[in-house]
Chain A
C-alpha cells in the first residue's frame, strides 16, 4: 500500500467556536452529568416530600426577599454574559475585557447574597430530612457557582495579562456557555427551595 495524500488540511482554521470546538463538547458533557446530578437531587426532594405529611415539617418556609433579589441578579447576569460570549466570538479583546468583568461582578454579587440565602432557609440541615435536602440543593448549586466564578476570574485575568490566542477566546465563549447552565439550573431549584414548601 502506498500512502497517497488525499486530504490537505493545512488551510483549515486553527480554532473554531461553538459545537465545532472540542471544548464545547467537553463542557456539554459536564453540563449533562451535572444536570443529571441536579435532577437526582430534585428527585430526592420530591421523594422525601412523599414521606413527610407536613411540608415544611414544623418550621416556617424560607423567607422570600433575598431569594427573589438574588434571582433577579442571576437572570440579569445573562445580559453581560451574552455580550461576553458575543465579543469573544468576534475576538474583540476590548469588549471581552469589559463584559467579562461585568459578568464577574454580577456573579460575585450573587455569591455574596447566596451567603444570606442559607440563613433565610429558616431550618438547619440536621433538624430533619426536609432541612437536609434544602441545604443540599442550595449547596449543590453553590458549588457550581463557586467553580464557575473561579473559572471566570482566571479567564478575566488572562484577558488582561495575555497571552491572547484564538483558543483563549474559545475558552471565554465556552465559559459563558457554562454560565448559562448555572443560570438555567437555578430556576427549578429555586422553585423547589422557595416555593416547594409553600405549594407542594
Chain B
C-alpha cells in the first residue's frame, strides 16, 4: 500500500490543473453563463430567499391590516392580491425551490461528485424560477397580481369572476416554477443515482441525499398535475375551452382534484428535505450517528407514497362520496406514523448523544415543538366533522403555518446556520444566531397560536377586515405583534449573514466536527469540489476515517471529467466529460419566458415563441467547435 500514498505535492498539482479545467471565468457573460452546481445552488437559494422576503413583506402588510377592526389601510381588492401573491410565492417560489437550491449545492458535495448531472439544465431551472417569480411580483406592482388565492379555485379564478389578466399571471407563474422544479429534480435524481463516490452504496447514502431523492421523485409525479390544471385554466380563460364550465359539460371540481393531487404531495415536497436537514444537524450536535437509519429511510419513502393518497381531505366540504372521505381520513391519519417514527428516532439520537447546543440544534428543537403542534391539528382536521366545522377558517391557517413554518422554515434556518460556513467559509455569529432563534420561535407561536382560537370563534380566511363586535380584535393584535417579531428575526439573520462575510470567524473545512463528505473539502469548496475524489467505506466517512483517506485516481485533470458509478453499489462504471459553461440555458429561459408571458396576452405567442425556443435549444445542444 505504501507506494499508493499520495504526496501533498500531487494533490496541489491536481488542484492547479483542475482549476484550469473547471474555472467559470469572469465578466458579465461568464456570470450569465455559469453552470457550476455551487453557483446555481447558491443563486437558487438567494433567489427563493428573495421571494421569501418579498412574500414576507406582504404577510406583514396583511397583519397590519388585520391588527385592528375595520382598518382601512388596505382595501379588499388589493388585499385579495396580497394574500394570493403571498401564498403563491411562498409555496411555489420559496418553499420548493429553496429546498432544491440547498440540494443542488450540497448533494454533489455529499456524494463526493465533482458536479451535478446536467449542469446546464440546472442553470436553466434557476432562470425559469427567477423569471416566473419576477412575473408574479412585477404583475402585483402593476395591479395585475394573482387574486384568487394560492389554490385559485374555479369559478373564482375563471373567466367570469376573474376578468383581466390576474389569474393568467397566476397560471403562468405556476408553469414557470413547475418547469424549474421538474428540471432540477431530474438533475438531482441522476446525480444521486449515478454519480456517488465509489463505495457509497444506497445504504450508506446521507439522509439528506435520501430526502432529496425521494422529494425529486415526488416532484416528477406531482407537478404534472398542477401544470395540466393551470394549462386547462388558462385555456378556459384565453381560448374558450370548457374544462371547468358546468354549462358546457365541464366541472369546477376537476380543478380541485387536479390541484390537490399536486397540492398535498407539495406539502411533503417541502417537508421531506427539511427532515433530511434535521437528521444531519441532530447527528452533528449529538455527536453520534442518527439512530435508526433504515427506519428513517423507509419513513421518508412511506411519507412520499402516502402523500399521494391524501388529496381529497382538502375537499371534504365538496360533494365527495362519504366512503371516499373515510378512506382519505384513514390515509391522512396514517401519515402520522412515519412522521412519528422519525421524531422518535431523533429523540433517541439526542437522548443517547453528547449534546452540543448551538444555533442549528436550537432550530431543530423549535422544529420538533412547532411541528408536533401542527401535526396534531392535522390529525384533528383529518376528521370530517371537525374539518367541516372549521373549513376555511383561521384554524386551518394556523394549522398549515405551524406545519410549514415548523416543518420547513425552522429546519431551513437551522440548516442555513449549519451549512452557510461551508458556502462562505465564515461562521455566523453564535449569539446573534441564538437571538435569531428565540425571536423567530416566539414570533411564530405568537402569530399563529391565537389563530386556532380565532378560527374556532368563526373568523374566516381571507377577510380583509372584521367589525369590532366580533371580539376578534385582541387575538388579531397579538398575532400582528408576533408577525413583527418574525420579520425582525429574519432581518437579524440577514444582518448576521452580511456581518459574517467580513468579520465572521474563518470556518475551515469542518467547523462542527461533522461526519459527511461535504466537510472533507475546503470552505468554500473549490470549483471541482474535491482535488482527490473520495472513496467511501461507511455511513460517516469523516468519523470513521483512520490514518488513511482512500481516494479515486485516474480522472483526467485537464478536462471536466467526472466518474459515473452504478446505481445500487456505486461501483465505478465509466468516465464522462461534462459540458463547459454556456450562455444558452439563459437565452433558452428568456425565449421560453417571453413565450409564456406573451401567451397571457395572445395564444399566438406560443406559435411565435416556438421559433426562438427552438433556436436557443439547438444552440444549447450544438457541440462546441473543436470537439473531437
Contact = CB atoms under 8 A, between A and B. Distances in A.
Interface of A: 1-16, 19-22, 25-26, 29-30, 32-34, 36-37, 39-41, 44, 47-48, 51-52, 57, 125-133, 135-136, 150, 154, 158, 163, 165, 167-168
Interface in B46-85: none
A126 B575 contact: no
Given A21-B564, A40-B225, A125-B239, A2 B547 contact: yes
A2 B545 CA distance: 10
Contact of B545 (A1, A25, A133, A163): A1
A6 B246 CA distance: 67
A5 B6 contact: yes
Contacts of A13: 574-575
Contacts of B203: none
B628 A129 contact: no
21 contacts: A6-B550, A7-B552, A8-B552, A9-B552, A9-B553, A9-B575, A12-B554, A19-B567, A22-B576, A29-B189, A36-B224, A37-B224, A37-B227, A40-B261, A44-B232, A48-B254, A51-B250, A125-B235, A128-B248, A129-B248, A129-B250
Interface in B158-195: 182, 185-187, 189-190, 193-195
Interface residues of B, number: 76
A47 B546 CA distance: 61
Contact of B564 (A20, A52, A136): A20
Given A4-B4, A32-B220, A9 B554 contact: yes
Given A25-B189, A125-B241, A52 B221 contact: no
Contacts of B535: 6-7
B241 A126 contact: yes
Interface string B239-275: 1111101101111001001100100000000000000
B118 interface: yes
Interface in B532-572: 532, 535, 545-555, 563-564, 566-567, 572
A20 B574 contact: yes
Contacts of A129: 241-243, 245, 248-251
A168 to B, nearest CB: 8
B182 A33 contact: yes
A132 B186 contact: no
B599 to A, nearest CB: 13
Contact of B551 (A4, A20, A21, A37): A4
A126 B239 contact: yes
Top 5 nearest A-B pairs (CB, nearest first) are A10-B554, A6-B550, A132-B241, A126-B240, A129-B249
A3 B547 CA distance: 9
A179 B236 CA distance: 31
B1 interface: yes
Given A3-B5, A25-B193, A8 B241 contact: no
B155 to A, nearest CB: 14
Contact of A128 (B239, B242, B574): B242
A92 B163 CA distance: 58
B143 interface: no
Nearest to B564: A22
B608 interface: no
B11 interface: yes
Contacts of A32: 220-221
Contact of B5 (A2, A33, A52): A2
B580 to A, nearest CB: 14
A5 B553 CA distance: 6
Contacts of A30: 182, 186
Given A7-B572, A9-B575, A132-B250, A165 B554 contact: no
B195 A22 contact: yes
A12 B549 contact: no
Contact of A5 (B227, B551, B574): B551
Given A3-B5, A129-B245, A14 B189 contact: no
Interface of B: 1, 4-6, 11, 117-118, 121, 182, 185-187, 189-190, 193-195, 198, 219-221, 223-225, 227-228, 231-232, 235-236, 239-243, 245-246, 248-251, 254, 257-258, 261, 532, 535, 545-555, 563-564, 566-567, 572-577, 614, 617-618, 621-623, 627-628
Contacts of B250: 48, 51, 128-129, 132
Contact of A44 (B6, B227, B228): B228
Nearest to B532: A3
Contacts of A48: 243, 249-251, 254
Given A9-B563, A14-B576, A163-B623, A2 B224 contact: no
Given A4-B550, A40-B258, A126-B242, A14 B251 contact: no
Contact of B549 (A3, A33, A163): A3
B521 to A, nearest CB: 12
Nearest to A14: B575
A20 B37 CA distance: 22
Contacts of A6: 4, 198, 535, 550-552
Nearest to A36: B224
A37 B245 contact: no
Contacts of B118: 22, 26
Given A6-B552, A7-B552, 18 more contacts: A1-B545, A3-B5, A4-B1, A4-B6, A5-B5, A14-B574, A14-B577, A21-B564, A22-B195, A25-B194, A29-B189, A32-B221, A41-B228, A44-B254, A51-B251, A125-B239, A128-B250, A132-B242
B410 to A, nearest CB: 30
B577 A4 contact: no
Contacts of A37: 224, 227-228
Contacts of B618: 150, 154
B575 A3 contact: no
Contact of B224 (A40, A130, A167): A40
Contacts of A8: 552-554
B220 A167 contact: no
Pick from A8, A12, A29, A37 the residue with the most CB of B within 10 Å: A29
A125 B190 CA distance: 39
A127 B336 CA distance: 46
Contacts of B258: 40, 44
B549 A2 contact: yes
Nearest to B190: A25
